[in-house]
Amino acid sequence: MKNFILTTTALTLVASMAFADSHAKTIRMGTEGAYAPYNFINDAGEVDGFERELGDELCVRAELTCEWVTNEWDSIIPNLVSGNYDTIIAGMSITDERDEVIDFTQNYTQPDPSAYLALSMDVDVTGGVIAAQTGTIQASHIASTGATLVEFATPEETVAAVRNGEADAVLADKTFLTPFTEEDASLMLIEQEEMLGGGIGMGLRESDGELKGKFDMAIQSMKDDGSLNALIEKWKIGETF
Amino acid sequence: MFSFCSDPSQLDRFYWLSCYLTTGKHMGFYFSFGTVLLLLAITAPTALAFGFFGATAARSNTAPLRWLGKGYISVVRGVPDIAFFLFFIIALDQGAEYLRHKVKCSQWDQPIRQGNDFIVCDAAKMPLGSAPQWMHESYGFTLAVLTFAIVFGAFAANVLFGAMRAVPRAQIETAEAYGMTRKQSFWRIIVPQMWVYALPGLSNLWMVLIKATPLLFLLGVEDIVYWARELGGTKTPRFTDYPHGDWRVWYFLFLLVFYLAFTKVSEVFLERLMTRLTHGQATTGGEAQRKVA
């Protein structure tokens, strides 16, 4: 019996090594590293956060070797399509406009309401000055309302703009804004929220159907066994599935 | 880093700071200073070489070579730096991959451009998809050096072109009278004497180059400005052991001091170089030195 177990372990080892060999290509995971708790750079200088843990687990399940790369949000889609990395896993909401340029896996978070962070509760969100990060669903939402939109390259700057009074409020994912209210009593989320986007998914090149299939299956398996929900609760990323 | 850093929230100010300033993240910040200095150390001579070839091409007797030199100088000088940086980084990368693709994957039957995607076979990827991260980073760095060299080379070419013409005509006439060929008089008379005329322009370029290094982040290299912005941003206790408010102003102040100190050192150095080059030259500077001596 003992021999049998040893042989099978050895066999599976060899098999998995052979399997790994055929997938020698490293999948490069592109992220922004400035959007806690989704993704951020931790004290050790490494990518950390909900998406780091999720991505690592997905790669294990899809039997891929993965590597993390950071890229400015501004150019995160152009650099994907020109092949500098293979996926975007950066808190990117699935929208129709983006779907025309790249492909998305199924969503791995529920649609998260976008909230307004402000210094007072009585902010005029349709006529005031609202900050948002460039190229986000929040920025395009504000552009469609009567409010004046001020755009910033990084999420950090949008919050700083509210602190120093340049903007009346900032519109961003509620999950991103909540930690700021916990830390700084002068900042608060107003009651009004916006439901934007169709949840967050991984972005891939349209021509990369095979990789998309692998990640879709891995996400589905994490949804099925509840491990995705555990991660969502751990990092407080809105509703579970 | 230090043994007492295990629970930073309990430390008093000095120890807290010494722990804070030695996190892995700060090491990345310090490392990026090395990256910037290395970039400058490689780019400056490369750009000068580009400039030298550009200038010699522009004053060539062969028409196509002359057009090439003049074209290089005027096109690159006429386009905003930032547009060039964004253009070159994509064009150089895709150009290299396209060539490798043509050589290595001749049996490939799919189009390279599929909608928005630029697709080459795995073997043609630069660097290979399986390459470790440091290869990707050095590749990005090399592209950055090349881009900087192309852009600053054009300005240097213009400066050198002017400097070569500034060498007094009498010097070249004398060389001709001694029977030197065009090539000989170029290498023996013009090149040694042109530097004194070129240096003010070149030193300007060097200063601009120092200040242009933050463009590195556009090229995907994590430079000091990127780290300053990242480190200075507000940190909430949930995601770090070292929570702090918006400290960007301190980090940027530090960068300001760094850049000022660096340009000051450069100025002193360039001043000395100028004194040396002026020595014995038929310029007002050289004449003044002669009188003092």
With the C-alpha atoms ordered B106, B110, B111, B113, is the resulting torsion angle positive or negative?
negative
Number of Cβ atoms within 10 Å of the Cβ of A210:
8
Residue type, A34: A
What's the confidence (pLDDT) of residue A17? 43
- Chains A, B: CB contacts within 8 A come to 99
Q: Which residues of B touch A72 (CB under 8 A)?
A: 217-218
What's the confidence (pLDDT) of residue B63? 92
Q: Which residues of B touch A33 (CB under 8 A)?
A: 230
Query: A6 vs chain B: nearest CA distance in angstroms?
Result: 32
What's the confidence (pLDDT) of residue A191? 87
What's the confidence (pLDDT) of residue A15? 44
Domains and CATH numbers, chain B: 3-223 (1.10.3720.10)
What's the confidence (pLDDT) of residue B1? 60
What's the confidence (pLDDT) of residue A3? 55
- Whether A43 and B220 lie within 8 Å, measured CB to CB: no
Q: What is the ipTM of this complex?
A: 0.74
Each residue's pLDDT expressed in tens, for chain A with a length of 241 residues: 455 444 444 544 444 444 444 445 788 999 998 888 899 988 888 899 999 999 999 999 999 989 898 888 888 998 888 888 899 999 999 988 899 899 999 999 988 889 999 998 888 888 889 999 998 999 999 998 888 999 998 888 899 899 888 999 999 999 899 888 888 888 899 888 888 888 899 999 988 889 999 999 999 999 999 999 999 999 888 888 8
Place of tokens 């400005």: B225
Task: Locate B291 and state its tokens.
Answer: 């009188």
Please identify every stretch of chain B with a pLDDT value under 70, giving residue numbers as ranges: 1, 129
- pLDDT for A172-207, tens place per residue? 999 899 888 888 888 899 888 888 888 899 999 988
Asked if A133 and A153 count as a contact pair (C-beta separation under 8 A), the reply is: yes
- Whether A206 and B117 lie within 8 Å, measured CB to CB: yes
Residue type, B64: P
Half-sphere exposure of B264 (CA within 13 A, CB side): 6
- Whether A79 and B125 lie within 8 Å, measured CB to CB: no
B9 touches chain A (CB under 8 A): no
Using CB atoms, pick whichever of A36, A46, A154 lies closest to residue B229. Answer: A154
- Among A199, A203, A95, A102, smallest CA distance to A139 is for A95
Provide the chain B residues 65-94 that lie in CB contact (below 8 A) with chain A: 90, 93-94
Helix (H, G, I), strand (E, B), or coil: what is residue A29? strand
What's the confidence (pLDDT) of residue A18? 41
Helical residues (DSSP H) of A82-154, grouped into ranges? 96-101, 137-144
Half-sphere exposure of A91 (CA within 13 A, CB side): 30
Query: A220 vs chain B: nearest CA distance in angstroms?
Result: 26
- Whether A71 and B119 lie within 8 Å, measured CB to CB: no
Residue B49 forms beta bridges with which residues?
A: none
Q: Which residues of A touch B115 (CB under 8 A)?
A: 206-207
Domains and CATH numbers, chain A: 26-110+199-235 (3.40.190.10), 114-194 (3.40.190.10)
Mean per-residue pLDDT of chain A: 85
What's the confidence (pLDDT) of residue A170? 93
Q: At what angle do helices A50-61 and A209-224 cross, to 10 degrees?
A: 110
Residue B113 forms beta bridges with which residues?
A: B118
Asked if A237 and A37 count as a contact pair (C-beta separation under 8 A), the reply is: yes
Round to whole Å and give the CA distance between B154 and B160. 10
Helix (H, G, I), strand (E, B), or coil: what is residue B215? helix
Taken as a whole, chain A contains a residue count of 241
Exposed, middle or buried, B202 (CB in 10 Å: 0-12/13-18/19+)?
buried
- Among B120, B155, B126, smallest CA distance to B138 is for B126
Using CB atoms, pick whichever of B118, B119, B240 lies closest to residue A43. Answer: B240
Query: A48 vs chain B: nearest CA distance in angstroms?
Result: 9
What's the confidence (pLDDT) of residue A24? 58
The residue of chain A with its CA nearest to that of B123 is A25
Here the contacts of A216-223 (C-beta below 8 Å, separation 24 or greater) are A216/A105, A216/A106, A217/A61, A217/A62, A218/A57, A218/A58, A218/A59, A218/A61, A218/A62, A219/A58, A219/A105, A219/A106, A219/A108, A220/A106, A221/A61, A222/A54, A222/A57, A222/A58, A222/A61, A222/A108, A223/A108
Q: Which residues of A touch B122 (CB under 8 A)?
A: 25
Query: A70 vs chain B: nearest CA distance in angstroms?
Result: 8
What's the confidence (pLDDT) of residue B200? 92
Chain A residues bordering chain B (beta-carbon distance below 8 Å): 24-26, 28, 33-34, 36-37, 40-46, 48-49, 67, 69-72, 78-79, 81-84, 86, 101-102, 154, 156, 159-160, 163, 179-180, 182-183, 205-207
What's the confidence (pLDDT) of residue A1? 46
Query: A206 vs chain B: nearest CA distance in angstroms?
Result: 7
- Whether B28 and A206 lie within 8 Å, measured CB to CB: no
Residue A130 has phi, psi (to 5 degrees) of -120, 135
Asked if A187 and A196 count as a contact pair (C-beta separation under 8 A), the reply is: no
Round to whole Å and give the CA distance between B12 and B113. 58
- pLDDT for A36-61, tens place per residue? 889 998 888 889 999 999 999 999 99
What's the confidence (pLDDT) of residue B99? 87
Exposed, middle or buried, A145 (CB in 10 Å: 0-12/13-18/19+)?
middle
Residue type, A73: W
Round to whole Å and give the CA distance between B281 and B199. 14
Q: What is the pTM of this model?
A: 0.79
